[in-house]
């Protein structure tokens, strides 16, 4: 993404989000020069080309045109296949710029201490997008979130629904090769979720 910056500039977070723009500029969650925090809502979504996280010397992001993930050097694509058709949920010539990012945190409170102070600790970083896709005669709602938990493997949660019944399989393709296929029959307007673990 931004190969000059692969680590967080602040000690309070191991990963930070970075929004890369078409003109070669970027906005990071914390500025690399001043360490000041920038607002997620200041991201110019109409000018995005990449969005994701950097930390621990890694780039984890997706290409806004097409929604393909690039996770620590691995390209990940998602396809829904029936016996008749393949529906590419990533790779469409659309801007997947409805971006999502959030953090999971836990706080421990000592109830025996009158001050009731707590320390919150980030346990997981998350980023991705949601996208509506009209592919041939099917309208899909697709949400893909990359989760980076502490002490566990990185995984993608893939949420999909369609406006008609489909009897198909959800296929995850890594570096151009079909890695895994999962039976994923869809009932019209009912969402299904698959968690797929990234192997390095």
pLDDT tens-digit series, residues 69-126: 999 889 999 999 999 999 999 999 999 999 999 999 988 776 666 565 667 899 999 9
For residues 148 and 53, is the Cβ–Cβ distance under 8 A? yes
Q: What is the per-residue pLDDT across 26-82, written as a single tens digit (0 to 9) for each?
A: 999 999 999 999 999 999 999 999 999 999 889 999 999 999 999 988 999 999 999
pLDDT band at 146 (very low <50, low <70, confident <90, very high): very high
Pairing of strands 26-28, 58-63: unpaired
DSSP conformation class of 154 = -
Distance CA 195, CA 149 (A): 13
For residues 198 and 156, is the Cβ–Cβ distance under 8 A? yes
Distances (CA, A) of 153 to 18, 70, 74, 200: 21, 16, 14, 9
Query: CA-CA-CA-CA torsion for 34, 40, 198, 153, nearest 10 degrees?
Result: 70
pLDDT at 73: 87
Instruction: Let me know how long the chain is.
Output: 200
- Write out the two tokens for 5: 């910056």
pLDDT at 119: 76
Q: Which residue has the higher pLDDT, 181 or 113?
A: 181
The dihedral of CA 33, 34, 36, 42: what is its sign? negative
pLDDT band at 4 (very low <50, low <70, confident <90, very high): low
């Amino acid at each position: 993404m931004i190969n000059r910056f692969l680590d967080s500039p602040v000690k309070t977070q191991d990963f930070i989000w970075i929004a890369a723009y078409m003109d070669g500029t970027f906005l990071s969650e914390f500025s690399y020069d001043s360490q000041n925090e920038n607002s997620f809502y200041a991201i110019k979504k109409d000018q995005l080309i990449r969005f994701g996280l950097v930390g621990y010397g890694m780039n984890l992001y997706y290409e806004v045109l097409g929604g393909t993930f690039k996770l620590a050097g691995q390209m990940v694509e998602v396809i829904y296949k029936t016996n008749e058709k393949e529906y590419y949920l990533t790779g469409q010539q659309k801007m997947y710029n409805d971006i999502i990012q959030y953090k999971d945190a836990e706080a421990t409170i000592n109830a025996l201490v009158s001050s009731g102070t707590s320390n919150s600790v980030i346990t997981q970083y998350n980023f991705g997008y949601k996208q509506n896709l009209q592919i041939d005669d099917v309208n899909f709602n697709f949400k893909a979130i990359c989760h980076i938990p502490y002490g566990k493997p990185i995984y993608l949660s893939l949420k999909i629904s369609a406006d008609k019944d489909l009897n198909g399989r959800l296929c995850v393709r890594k570096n151009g090769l079909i890695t895994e296929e999962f039976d994923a029959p869809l009932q019209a307007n009912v969402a299904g979720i698959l968690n797929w673990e990234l192997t390095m």
